[in-house]
Amino acid sequence: MKGSPGTLYTLCTLCACILSGSYAHAAESPKGGSAANVGMPANFLIVTDRIHTSAQPTRAQLVELKANGYALVINLATPASAGAIADEGSLIAKQGISYVNVPVDFRAPSLQDFDLFSTILRQTGSRRVLVHCQVNKRASAFTFLHRVVHDGIAPDEAWKNVVTIWEPDPQWIDLIRVVLKRHGINFDPF
């Protein structure tokens, strides 16, 4: 992915939208939307008031995102992932919500994937974001790393959201250790 023209274009487009304020702002409260009518996606977690993570939302859940205050959706699954919705980006864009797909290979997550994810997330300000993937493994791991590295959250506190969803596989353990070490964070839950 490093140096990929498509990745650079996606990042530049997203940053331009965020900086210009040309997408919908998140609602102040997570309540009042209609997602309760269609249910929340599998493995849904409210990580912070601003950042939520989940497995792949259904079509019905995707079309309710604006009503629930989301301003950005970051999809970390590849388009070939089981359950992927081919027109997810257009379903979301029709609501005035920004959408970015950072297709992270589950078997080989990379520092470049995490760096791109973090760059995008840091540009969102106070807007509500849904970070999802196929089952919330990629999303929970990347969100953990982002919160610890960039938001200064205590690793043991942030880690609770990861273990709510899964026990990371060896390739993810390696990536988590590398990112934490790279940023001088002494934490190893393994």
Residues of the chain scoring pLDDT < 50: 1-36
Query: Which position has the token pair 């997408």?
Result: 23
Pairing mode, if any, of strands 98-101 and 51-54?
unpaired
Cα–Cα distance measured from residue 189 to residue 153, given in angstroms and rounded to the nearest whole number: 15
Q: What is the pTM of this model?
A: 0.82
Pairing mode, if any, of strands 51-54 and 45-46?
antiparallel
Beta strands in the chain (DSSP E): 45-46, 51-54, 70-75, 98-101, 128-132
Q: State the pLDDT at residue 10.
A: 42
Tell me how far the alpha carbon of residue 123 is from its chain's centroid.
13
User: Cα separations (Å) of 140 from 52, 67, 106, 166, 181?
Assistant: 9, 24, 13, 9, 19
Q: Which helix (H) or strand (E) holds 61?
A: helix 59-62
Q: State the pLDDT at residue 37.
A: 53
Q: 28-182 sits in which CATH class?
A: alpha beta
